[in-house]
Amino acid sequence: MASTERLYFADPFLHRFTGRVVAHAAWNGAPSIILDRTAFYPEAGGQMADRGVLGGAVVRDVQVDDAGLVHHVLELSEGGALPEVGAELPGEIDRVRRRLHMALHTGQHMLSRALVDVANAHTVSSRLGETLCTIDVDLDVLDERKVAEAEEFVNAVIEDDVAIRAFFPTPEELAALPLRRQPKVTENIRVVQIDGFDVSPCGGTHCTRSAQVGMIRVLGVERNKGKGRVLFSAGRRARSELWAEAGTLRGLSRAFTCGPGEVPTSIDKLRRELTEAREALGAARARLAEHTAAELASALEQSPEHRVVAVVEGASPESLRAIAARLTARPEAVVLLAGQGPEGLPVLIARGSGASFGCGAFLKRLAEAAGGRGGGRPEHAEGRLPPGTDFPALVASLLG
């Protein structure tokens, strides 16, 4: 069987075509059909497959095998049959998806070229994903300033609206071309030439002029498996991301009652105020813990067992720790504290350095009796009891 004729090689903007079913096959266990010719791009070279409709059925995947046969995997209704061999089928490509892939793939070529020219960083792999596109280069660390310079370089070429040609050169023509990288195949080598800028072997769908890319946008630089990685977007996706971020910025500017350009200053001011508020809250909690500990200290001194049991209204685990730390400075002290809140009672049991009370074991008994949880060491334990638990009565009953 002859390999499938790829119509997108001649015209990447072709969205409607007809093809004849030449065989039924399967791809990864799913039934597929083979056409004599197709405009659907199969997943390859880091580019995702096209989607669309074929013979009235939704195309959910397109793949190519080693023989060059393009498999079209269709969405079939339960019990539905594949179109008959010999049938002529109309096909329609999802134009928006194809157009985005053209911009992303062409943008990737351009950014890879610029990374070589600006940062001497050669692309070793690339991926054009559903939500994220990446370029991995042969440097373990990428200078973000160089990447930004490469981004600006690419956008300048986009603005120049240079011609882009995709073709199959003769062996003699191929030998004379300044390829950015060597072909991965040895025959039927297709080349994408961005006039005056980049020449690369590639079988993907590409724009025919650089302005069709719209824009290239670097989203970040990171390391991945010892290689430098550039995250980027282009075309419709880049514009959508920018509009979404601009909308977020406008929302923040309204919230801060300032202009969009003043948002960073407002955020810095908010951060300073939040830091000051946290410091003030910490100081207030410390004073409250000191005051509460002073009140409980008298009960501790009057207890023959050097023990204090108390519920501190609204106390968080952090507050209980601060109070307990002051009380257990007394070596013989045993402190059993609980907070009070809608989600239950945070509980803390601690002892001084001279006491022998088993805090963790006692908290386990408390939790079992009340249906709570918690645990800890002999000298310190924490947990939580259900709302409504009468903590002092429960402790008294277990202490006997």
**pLDDT tens per residue across all 400 residues of the chain:** 689 999 999 999 999 999 999 999 999 999 999 999 999 999 998 999 999 999 999 999 999 999 999 999 999 887 789 999 999 999 999 999 999 999 999 999 999 999 999 999 999 999 999 999 999 999 999 999 999 999 999 999 999 999 999 999 999 999 999 999 999 888 889 999 999 999 999 999 999 999 999 999 999 999 998 899 999 999 999 999 999 999 999 999 999 999 999 999 999 999 999 999 999 988 888 888 889 989 899 888 889 989 999 999 888 899 999 999 999 999 999 999 999 878 899 999 999 999 999 999 999 999 999 999 999 999 999 999 999 999 999 999 999 7
Q: How many residues does the chain have?
A: 400
pLDDT recorded at residue 286: 84
pLDDT recorded at residue 266: 94
Judged by DSSP in three states, 37 sits in strand
The single residue listed with the structure tokens 């020219």 is 117
pLDDT recorded at residue 178: 95
Cβ neighbours of residue 157 closer than 8 Å, sequence gap 6 or more? 110, 194, 197, 210
**Dist CA 180 CA 177 (whole Å):** 9
**Other beta carbons less than 10 A from residue 226's beta carbon:** 7
Q: Please spell the DSSP secondary structure of 109-132, one letter per residue.
A: HHHHHHHHHHH---EEEEEE-SS-
Cβ neighbours of residue 255 closer than 8 Å, sequence gap 6 or more? none
pLDDT recorded at residue 78: 79
The single residue listed with the structure tokens 């009891």 is 385
**Other beta carbons less than 10 A from residue 344's beta carbon:** 19
pLDDT recorded at residue 400: 75
The single residue listed with the structure tokens 């690369």 is 200
pLDDT recorded at residue 342: 80
HSE toward the beta carbon, residue 376, CA cutoff 13 A: 23
Judged by DSSP in three states, 174 sits in helix
**C-alpha dihedral, 94 to 35 to 171 to 205, nearest 10°:** 0
List the one residue out of 311, 373, 365 whose CA is nearest residue 341: 311
List of domains in the chain: 5-93 (2.40.30.130), 98-253 (3.30.980.10), 292-399 (3.10.310.40)
HSE toward the beta carbon, residue 325, CA cutoff 13 A: 9
